[in-house]
Structure 1
Amino acid sequence: MNPITGIIITLNEQDNIQDAIASLRPVCDEIIVVDSGSQDNTVALAEAAGARVIHQSYLGDGPQKAFAVPQASHDWIFALDADERLDADAVEVVRQLELGDPRKAYRFKRRNFAGRHWIRAAGFYPDPVTRLYNRTTSGYLPKKAHSSVQAPEVIDVDAHLSHFTYRDLSHWMTRIDQLSSRDAWAMKERGVKPSTLRPTLHAITAILRKLILKGGLFQGQDGMTVAMTTAFHAYMKYAKLNELYENEQADRDA
């Protein structure tokens, strides 16, 4: 197997970073953490776990994940979020890969958790994500929110990452608040204009997609939870986009 560099981006991830690094250790020869100004012990814990830490103010999702790639020692990159872990089957699969074709990237199934509860409803599983790729042919798109790896060929592997997305339902709501603010900023950065209709339209679209197209209507409480939180996230990011423009106009008028 060709050597792999693991890359993790962080901001105040002291509760996650050591486990994330530990899960990469069996398959990576080098681990780089890109930190965007953590105020907790993230940096110290990452360095204690043997990672090389690079400091970079947040550039947006795709640019931040791509920032450390030129500084990696190896062409093969495993990009892991701080709240993700390689399961044992993923470690085994990666170890068996020859990684001889740089045009291929590898996509894993992701298990999303709220606390100890694995959420499978309404499209939350298998939630495929591309994480292993060769930097000579592939990389993250320069999107400031919800970026993904673009590669000439993507191979689906029957192996898992565990995604400890939310500690509990209260944390789920807190994360929606944080992520919707980030999404609104990213949309404004790329020139998306405000709209009084867009928050409602996107919320309705989201809930119909999750309840009907993804089957959440027939998947009990988990299906309804995913549908409602997705709709709320959609509504809030567009409402916050409108608010950003309103605040900007108010500052100009002051």
Structure 2
Amino acid sequence: MTARLPLSAVLITFNCAGPLRATLESLAFCDEILAVDSGSTDDTLKLLAEFGVRVLSEPWRGFGPQKQFAIEQAAHDWVLCVDSDEIVSPELRASIERELQAPANQFYEFPRRNRFLGRYLKHGEGYPDLSLRLFDRRQARWSDDLVHERVITLGIVGRLSGDLLHHSEDTIESYLAKQNRYTTLAASALVAEGAPMPAGKLLLSPLFRFIKFYFLRAGFLDGVPGLIHILIGCFNSFAKYAKMVEQMRR
């Protein structure tokens, strides 16, 4: 078998022991696993030690800056960035290892399959949810966004087969709590950028989002879990702009 380029798996962690074991097991093929932890107090650090992960402690900077700091500390230039609740499927692992034998591109995206209410979603917002997570860090970087961060590239993005399996929060309550934090951060970022008052978007953004994901992208085929997932996404759009209005009026 042709040797492949060395690969660092990179995570940011904070009190994420619940789903972390499955994530680390799926990254065993990488030459290094690096975690940048921002003060975990649960069993996260114990699990990382069990799997021989190299751990660095760093105060929280926001999602984009934290992930950029993390890839800068990796031992290898090719990095695979995953979250603590994501699992590299066997098919995706095979695609990654095959491609790194002779990369045709410097950046790669692949589908992310979201698990919600005990079911992997196949339509709507839940799939394919293409995510750019494998790249040469010398040619790309994470954005400075505090939430909804993205990888910034200049060049053609390749696409790999196989899914990144995303295990969303176990309960609606915990899922909504996370979305509440994200919409607050997103609203604050828009206000900081000087975005205009979003009066029209309060109504139109959730409406268009529902039409797009429930009908045009067949979210109705995912049954009740798909409907709930999309409706929460629509409410997130409303909440983000409502919080933005609140902040602008202070």
Query: Does the pair score TM above 0.5?
Result: yes
Find the residue that maps to 1:122 and give its secondary structure.
coil
Is 1:167 aligned to 2:170, yes or no? yes
Structure 1 residue 122: Cα displacement: 1.4
Amino acid at match of 2:241: Y
Q: Which deviates more from structure 2 when the two are superposed, residues 215-224 or residues 117-126?
A: 215-224
Trace 1:78-89 onto structure 2 (pairs within 5 A).
78-89=80-91
**Residues 75 and 108 of structure 1, relative CA distance in 2, 3 Å threshold:** same
Equivalent pair of 2:121/2:222 in contact (CA under 8 Å): no
Aligned to 2:64: 62
Aligned to 1:252: none
**Residues 74 and 177 of structure 1, relative CA distance in 2, 3 Å threshold:** same
**What do residues 67-107 of structure 1 show as CA deviations (whole Å, max 9, x unaligned)?**
12222111100000111000111122222223544842121
Structure 1 residue 216: Cα displacement: 3.0
Aligned to 1:227: 230
Is 1:14 aligned to 2:17, yes or no? yes
**What do residues 134-163 of structure 1 show as CA deviations (whole Å, max 9, x unaligned)?**
011122222222122233221111111110
Amino acid at match of 2:185: R
In 2: Cα distance, 1:12 partner to 1:240 partner: 27
Structure 1 residue 211: Cα displacement: 2.7
The unaligned stretches of length 5 or more in structure 2 are none
Find the residue that maps to 1:121 and give its secondary structure.
coil
Per the normalisation by structure 2, the TM-score is 0.87
Structure 1 residue 195: Cα displacement: 4.1
Equivalent pair of 1:102/1:134 in contact (CA under 8 Å): no
In 2: Cα distance, 1:128 partner to 1:176 partner: 20
Trace 1:156-195 onto structure 2 (pairs within 5 A).
156-192=159-195, 194-195=197-198
Aligned to 1:41: 43
**Residues 140 and 71 of structure 1, relative CA distance in 2, 3 Å threshold:** same
The unaligned stretches of length 5 or more in structure 1 are 250-254
In 1: Cα distance, 2:104 partner to 2:49 partner: 30
Per the normalisation by structure 1, the TM-score is 0.85
**Residues 15 and 90 of structure 1, relative CA distance in 2, 3 Å threshold:** same
**What do residues 25-80 of structure 1 show as CA deviations (whole Å, max 9, x unaligned)?**
11x11111122233323233223321122222322222211112222111100000
In 2: Cα distance, 1:161 partner to 1:131 partner: 10
Instruction: Give % identity.
Output: 27
Amino acid at match of 1:48: E
**Residues 215 and 116 of structure 1, relative CA distance in 2, 3 Å threshold:** closer
Paired positions, count: 246
Equivalent pair of 1:210/1:226 in contact (CA under 8 Å): no
Trace 1:1-254 onto structure 2 (pairs within 5 A).
1-26=4-29, 28-101=30-103, 103-151=105-153, 152-192=155-195, 194-217=197-220, 220-246=223-249, 249=250
**Residues 191 and 82 of structure 1, relative CA distance in 2, 3 Å threshold:** farther
Amino acid at match of 2:136: N
Q: Which deviates more from structure 2 when the two are superposed, residues 161-170 or residues 221-230?
A: 221-230
In 2: Cα distance, 1:160 partner to 1:220 partner: 21
Equivalent pair of 1:133/1:139 in contact (CA under 8 Å): no
